[in-house]
Amino acid sequence: MDFSAGRPCPHTRPNLHRRWQGPHRGNSAGFTLIELIVVVVIVGIFAAMAIPSFSYMIHKSAVTASSNELYDLLQYSRAEAVTRGTRVTIQAPGGASGAWNGNVTVTYASGAAATSVTLRQIGTSGFQTGISIATAVGSLVFTSTGTVSSAACFALSHSTDNKVATQYIGVQASGRITAPSTVKPGEC
């Protein structure tokens, strides 16, 4: 071989066209099936841990929303009684003490004939699904001074999830309504 041309020996120069390819032939791009299965299993484990917490959060939110809705309705009833200078009644469907989940209405007697006028109504489905309301009264009547004849207590809980804390709303004889809380007020 003639090395005088200035070119190195073909056996000693690097081959620039050949890359190191590792244990596999060709370029590898993307995930292998095993890597994909591992990722799916890990995501499944995290989802299995999160689902019970998620359903608890939904149930807790339903109890909170329903207790806030009932609290607002009680406040509205008292305010309307004072504003209109007449008795305003908030009543469960049929006046039953344990059935506050249906068609709850706020009414007042209007005119000499004492015609009942509906001010506000929660539809036939009532409060949030799965909410149970325990109380000893079927209706509350707020007078023109904002008082009620006797104190009342409402206990709102989720019917299928015992982990969710019960929310209590108290109505004092003076008409004061305690905000929803997990602590029982004196009226309970």
Q: Which residue has the higher pLDDT, 170 or 114?
A: 170
Predicted local distance difference test score (pLDDT) of residue 79: 93
Predicted local distance difference test score (pLDDT) of residue 10: 57
Read off the pLDDT of each residue in 135-140 and give the average, rounded to a whole number: 87
What pairs with residue 134 in β-bridges?
155
- Compute the Cα dihedral for 89, 91, 95, 98 and give only its sign: negative
pLDDT tens column, 138-162: 889 999 999 998 899 999 999 888 8
Q: Which residue has the higher pLDDT, 110 or 106?
A: 106
Predicted local distance difference test score (pLDDT) of residue 131: 86
Read off the pLDDT of each residue in 68-81 and give the average, rounded to a whole number: 92
Identify the CATH class of 33-171: alpha beta
Read off the pLDDT of each residue in 45-64 and give the average, rounded to a whole number: 86
* C-alpha angle 81-134-101 in degrees, rounded to nearest 5: 70
**What global pTM score does this model have?**
0.71
Contact assessment for residue 79 and residue 144, using Cβ atoms and an 8 Å cutoff: no
Does residue 9 carry a pLDDT above 70?
no
Average pLDDT, the chain: 81
Does residue 19 carry a pLDDT above 80?
no
Read off the pLDDT of each residue in 29-38 and give the average, rounded to a whole number: 84
Does residue 32 carry a pLDDT above 60?
yes
Main-chain phi, psi angles of 177, to 5 degrees: -115, 125
Predicted local distance difference test score (pLDDT) of residue 12: 60
Does residue 47 carry a pLDDT above 80?
yes
What is the DSSP-derived secondary structure letter of residue 88?
Answer: E
